[in-house]
Amino acid sequence: MGAKVVRETERKFEADADFRLPELVGVGGVTAVRGPERSDLDASYFDTQDLRLARAGITLRRRTGGADAGWHAKLPVGPDTRDEVRFPLGRAKKTVPAALTALVRAHTLDEPLVPVARIVTRRDEWTLLDADGEQVALLADDHVTAVPTDGKATTWRELEVEAADAAALDPIGEALGARPSSSTSKLVRTLGKKARRQQPPELPKHPTAGDAALQYVRARFDDLRAHDTGVRLDAEDSIHQFRVTCRRMRSALQAFRPLFDADRVAALREEFRWLGAELAPARDAEVLEEHLRAEVDRLPTEVVLGGVSARLSAEFARVGADARGSALAVLDGDRYKAVLVDLAALLADPPFTAKAARPAAGELRKAVRKSADRLTASVEAADTAASPADRDTALHQARKDAKKARYTVEAVDPVLGRELRKWGKRVKGVQTALGVHQDAVVAREALRDLGVRVHLEGDNAFTYGLLWAREDTRAHTAEAEFVAAWARLCGSKGPHLPG
């Protein structure tokens, strides 16, 4: 998508007009100071009319001047840390590039992006160096003039300290002797309270079931939007985390189903099932390729015959490209947008039933009991399966139900955490063993398919058969580990499940 992602760890300080830069040599490993270098920066900021990006902690701008002129999206990562996604400047000045619009679509929901402020900065910047001449930090002295589109110009002076190592921020900040900024960004200071990042409400001391449900679903919605951005940027593990969030959301909606209108919850659960399934091929390809490559590397070189590594590269390059393209098409589609709109509407105006007003502890125990009963039924179905293939299928369902049970425990943790945490860890043990089993079953099937095709093309398929045998052993070992994990779960002397 032509983007460059730069992680920034920085802290802002307010400076008076008569501020003078103190001596920084000897502070936080600084042995030399180079500069200043002056630049004039002119940035136009874009957002929806109701400032959805700003309230999510995101800034989007077009900036000229300086070494990094271009379109920038700043995405929150953690305290003092953001990822800045940079796009080329281009010709357009008032139309946000399509790739950048897509990047924040989960927040804007296709509402138009319009100019909300212009900020002009005269910047003097110093580079702080260590004894090896390596950069410790950048220190910027900014004289700012900001004009919101619907207000008057304001001016101020601020300092920015940016460091690759967050540990350098404290000693440098203390040496500056300046006040920490009351705003997280120039845009927030320009637009005021209406642009401040929205913080989720804390759970009351005696929460209702509805309070607990909304807190958890709201947090997963935030996760979903963050991983949406990661998938679009092709960030490591982003597709996996996106699918995990979909599963967590489905499990939560199942657990909290009695608290909401049944039709609304059923429709959303089905949509999250669809969404997770649509991104499954991309994730499955990632997992399988990583595992098979590791397995090939473990084999003695004398049994790796017929260009196996090249074949795997070609196979997964094709599968991965197709799966990623399909995943992005889903995220750009109307159906996905409708899911986000429906979820936002549910959180804004929850369609509660009378049960939502009941005390959380009593009501949510029932959800955990139901998830445990579903898991038990799935394991029993596996034990009575008619064939090995049917047992594999049943164990896969048990794995999914173990995940649901674990996610249900996670969802009620703020209320029942201490009571259920040990049980949840043992459920995770069951899930982990079944996950390895399912991965081995999938790998076994893929290797058989690959081996047959290689053989039909006249190449040596020996190594694929060898890998198949290793996966078969892995599947049986994981099944034995599952049996032991299930015994530990059922024989636990820990807290009994509520209900």
Rounded (5°) CA angle 154-125-64: 60
197-249 confidence digits (pLDDT tens): 888 888 888 899 999 999 999 999 999 999 999 999 988 888 889 999 999 99
Phi, psi dihedral angles at 144 (to 5 degrees): -110, 135
pTM, whole model, 2 decimals?
0.87
408/398 Cα distance (integer angstroms): 15
56/197 Cα distance (integer angstroms): 5
294-346 confidence digits (pLDDT tens): 999 999 999 999 889 888 888 888 887 888 888 899 999 999 999 999 999 99
Output the pLDDT for position 430: 96
Element (H, E) at 241: helix 238-255
Output the pLDDT for position 167: 87
270/487 Cα distance (integer angstroms): 33
Output the pLDDT for position 499: 46
Give the gyration radius of the chain's Cα atoms: 27
140/10 Cα distance (integer angstroms): 11
Output the pLDDT for position 497: 57
CA 13, 199, 247, 349 dihedral sign is negative
Mean pLDDT by 10 residues, the chain (499 residues): 82 90 90 94 97 95 93 90 90 90 96 97 95 94 95 93 88 90 90 88 90 94 94 88 92 93 95 93 85 93 90 84 87 96 96 95 89 93 94 95 91 85 92 96 94 91 95 96 93 51
* Amino acid identity at 41: L
| Closest residue by Cα to residue 13 from 187, 186, 198, 194 | 186
| Closest residue by Cα to residue 475 from 311, 312, 285, 291 | 291
Q: Do β-strands 81-87 and 4-14 pair in parallel, antiparallel, or remain unpaired?
A: antiparallel
Output the pLDDT for position 498: 47
99/47 Cα distance (integer angstroms): 15
Output the pLDDT for position 495: 43
